[in-house]
Amino acid sequence: MSKRYSFLAVTLIVTATCALALSSHATTTTLVNDTWQDGTRTDPASPTYAENNGTSATDADSDGNLESAWFASNSASLTVAGPGDLRGAVPTTSLSMYTYFTQPTTPVTLANIGDELKLTWQFTPNGTITVNTSQGFLLALGLTPNGSRNTADGGIQSANYTNSFAMFMNMSSTMGNGNSFQLRKWGLAGSGAFLGTSGNWTALTNGVASGTTGYTVGTQYTFVYDLTMTAGGLQVVSSMSGDNIGGTGSISDTFVDPSITSVSYDTFDIRPAGSATGASQIDTSLFKVDLTTVPEPSTVMLVGAGLGLMLTLARRRRS
146, amino acid identity: N
**Chain-centre distance of CA 164, in angstroms?**
11
DSSP run (H or E) holding 287: strand 279-293
Q: How far apart are CA 283 and CA 218, in angstroms?
A: 9
**Chain-centre distance of CA 2, in angstroms?**
57
Return per-residue pLDDT of the chain as tens, 319 residues: 555 444 444 444 444 444 444 445 899 999 999 999 999 999 999 999 999 999 999 999 999 999 999 999 999 999 999 999 999 999 999 999 999 999 999 999 999 999 999 999 999 999 999 999 999 999 999 999 999 999 999 999 999 999 999 999 999 999 999 999 999 999 999 999 999 899 999 999 999 999 999 999 999 999 999 999 999 999 999 999 999 999 999 999 999 999 999 999 999 999 999 999 999 999 999 999 999 999 986 544 444 444 444 444 445 555 5
Q: How far apart are CA 153 and CA 34, in angstroms?
A: 19
Question: Cα angle vertex 185, ends 249, 32, to 5°?
Answer: 65
**Cis, bond preceding 44 (omega within 30 deg of 0):** yes
pLDDT for the residue numbered 298? 53
Helix orientation angle between 3-23 and 297-318, rounded to the nearest 10 degrees: 170
Query: In terms of Cα–Cα distance, which of 170, 145, 148, 153 is closest to 246?
Result: 170
134, amino acid identity: S
43, amino acid identity: D
